[in-house]
Amino acid sequence: MHMNKVEICGVNTSKLPVLTNEEMRELFEKMHKGDKSAREKFIKGNLRLVLSVIQRFNNRGEYLDDLFQVGCVGLIKAIDNFDLSQNVKFSTYAVPMIIGEIRRYLRDNNSIRVSRSLRDIAYRALQVRDQLINKHSKEPTISEISKELDMPSEEVVFALDAIQDPVSLFEPIYHDSGDAIFVMDQVKDEKNSDEVWLEGIALREAMRKLNDREKLILNLRFFEGRTQMEVAEEIGISQAQVSRLEKSALSHMKKHM
């Protein structure tokens, strides 16, 4: 795959427009009034999101044109489902949907076969997970599932991971105005609930290792979408301190993921 390719699916990627937040808001409002030209401009103005995402999959041997087309499907789904009234950037909402669409495509077209024994363990783990949710009305931890299955936690994680198309929660997917969007920013996709649940368990268990200030900073930054400056003002420290603590917390979490 050649990521420096200029033309993809007939689109000259070197000349794609970049929309400001205000321009996107105006186009979005026009779209909801039935303006088709505004919709076309909005799509074209966000194709760079698709380009940014497909770079993550550049070692899979897939054709770039195919991934771009699939990513565009995810982009259009994001446009159709985005709620302007929510205080969330469109890019933050769209990137996970683009990722999800590409991952489904890759999973459906994956030539790699997972062994039957691993699949059996994974599906048993998912069944136990559902049973524990029904019993306790909360998401179980990997340790709780492993105990029910009477096998090591590592084996359960390995089996569950084998039936997924893994993506690191901490991998930066897109950079918008200097702020990186990580996979951990994902909005829940019901079609991939087991996949999101697996990542969610690992995330929660890693966050338990952080102190209260670190947890607060990550919550404000990645779950409420605040900028570093906004977080700094809220908790009364400098932006530089927020940046340092954020990086330290993420680094600490990586060791437990």
Residue 174 contacts residue 49 (beta carbons within 8 Å) = yes
pLDDT at residue 143, as a whole number: 82
What is the band of 192 on the pLDDT scale with cuts at 50, 70, 90? Answer: very low
Domains and CATH numbers, the chain: 7-108 (1.20.120.1810), 116-162 (1.10.10.10), 209-257 (1.10.10)
What is the band of 249 on the pLDDT scale with cuts at 50, 70, 90? Answer: confident
Residue 214 contacts residue 245 (beta carbons within 8 Å) = yes
| CA gap 196, 188 in Å, rounded | 7
> Residue 163: what residue type?
I
pLDDT at residue 42, as a whole number: 92
Q: Spell out where the chain has E strands.
A: 7-8, 11-12, 172-176, 179-182
pLDDT at residue 26, as a whole number: 92
Full DSSP string of 155-184:
HHHHHHHHTS----TT-EEEEETTEEEEGG
Give the residue-averaged pLDDT of 216-243: 80
**CA of residue 174 relative to chain centroid, distance:** 10
Q: Which residue has the higher pLDDT, 63 or 82?
A: 82
99-153 pLDDT per residue, tens: 888 877 876 665 445 566 777 888 888 889 888 988 888 888 888 888 999 988 7
Q: Which residue has the higher pLDDT, 114 or 76?
A: 76
What is the band of 163 on the pLDDT scale with cuts at 50, 70, 90? Answer: low
Q: Which residue from 202, 186, 172, 163 is spatially nearest to 78, judged by alpha carbons?
A: 186
pLDDT at residue 166, as a whole number: 45
Residue 195 has pLDDT above 70, yes or no: no
pTM above 0.85, yes or no: no
| CA gap 105, 192 in Å, rounded | 13
Percent of the chain topping pLDDT 90: 6
19: which 2 tokens? 């929309």
Strands 7-8 and 11-12: antiparallel
Residue 75 contacts residue 98 (beta carbons within 8 Å) = yes
Highest mean pLDDT among 26-40, 47-61, 229-243: 26-40
> Residue 79: what residue type?
I
Highest mean pLDDT among 53-57, 109-113, 178-182, 236-240: 236-240
Look at 4-18, 116-130, 189-203 and tell me which has the smallest mean pLDDT: 189-203
Half-sphere exposure of 155 (CA within 13 A, CB side): 13
Look at 46-55, 98-107, 132-141, 155-164 and tell me which has the smallest mean pLDDT: 155-164
